[in-house]
Structure formats: structure tokens, C-alpha cells
Amino acid sequence: MSKRILIVEDNEDLTEAIEMVLHKAGYEPLICRTYNNIFSCLFRNNVDLVILDGYLNGYDGRQILQQLKQHSSFKDLPVIFASVMTDEDLTGYKPDATLPKVYGMNELLKKIHDLLPA
């Protein structure tokens, strides 16, 4: 069974690009474009990893990350945090991996492979 990756991103073009790359790499991408749907997406699907946008429809992604890491059902779920924020901005939030907001798809796949070994 393919590993499921939840893409939490409000930029449609970027979401489509990530979705295509993940499909080609053998993953099953799921998409969530709004803050309000994140937890319902997670509860409905057995997700293996989350790619989280740093800013989602006006919400600070750090707060979303903090809620995920504090929730008993998702505290061990790997999260890749994609943002223009610096490591200093993320102090205390503990994403499993970070990517600069402008990143290459090979860089994204490497982070995923690091967090989801075969």
C-alpha cells in the first residue's frame, strides 16, 4: 500500500505540482487547502506524513504545527514545514523537517524519503 501524504497548501499551482511528483514517486497524495479541514482530513485518512505550508489562508502554520504535535493522535506524525520562516522563527515548534518556501521537487522527495524510509 502506498504511503499517504497530506499536502496542506493553499497555492493551487504548487499543490498540483507536489501532487504530480508524489504520484510519480509512488505516494498517495491527499490535499487540504484550508485550516478548518486539516483535522477532518487527518481523522478520515490514515496519513503517514504532512507537508505543511507556513502560512495557510491567513493562519500561521506554526500554530497548526503546534496543534498537531500536541494532539495525542498526531504527535508522532512527521511534518515537513515549508516556509520562508527562519530556524529562529521556528524555535520551540519542532517540525520534523523544514524546506524553504521556494524548493525543488527533488529536495522535497529527499526530505520525504528521510522521514518515511521504505
Q: Where are the domains of the chain?
A: 4-115
Integer Cα distance of 113 and 118 in angstroms? 8
How remote is the C-alpha of 60 from its chain's centroid? 14
64 exposure class (CB count in 10 Å sphere: 0-12, 13-18, 19+): buried
Check whether 105 has a pLDDT greater than 90: no
| pLDDT, mean of residues 90-96 | 85
Q: What is the pLDDT of residue 30?
A: 97
Check whether 86 has a pLDDT greater than 80: no
Phi, psi for 64 (deg, rounded to 5): -65, -45
* Domain 4-115 CATH assignment equals 3.40.50.2300: yes
